[in-house]
Amino acid sequence: METVLKTNNHITLSWVKHLLESSNINFYVLDESMSSVEGNITAIPMRILVNRNDLEKAKKIIFDAKKNL
């Protein structure tokens, strides 16, 4: 698994999860609960990991979506 996103922003996390789900890319979210537990002081960023084989595709999906904002 490879990290495709690190963020402290819950909205960004939700948006990227939606992009990946819509593209049928499996992923794991790490430290989502820790972000809330630690008081959201941004000490522990949330991370989205994807399979190494999907990494470039996931990065492209996120990049293209950001261009269209």
Q: pLDDT tens track of the chain, all 69 residues?
A: 999 999 988 899 999 999 999 999 999 999 887 756 666 566 788 999 999 999 999 999 999 999 988
The three-point CA angle 53-57-61 to 5° equals 150
Name the β-bridge partners of 57.
none
Q: Residue 19's pLDDT is what?
A: 98
Decide: helix, strand or coil at residue 44: coil
Domain 2-67: CATH architecture, name and number where available: 2-Layer Sandwich (3.30)
pLDDT reported for residue 31: 86
Which one-letter DSSP state was computed for residue 8? S
What does the pLDDT read at residue 44?
Answer: 83
Neighbours of 54 (CB within 10 A): 19
- Tell me, what's the pLDDT at 38? 61
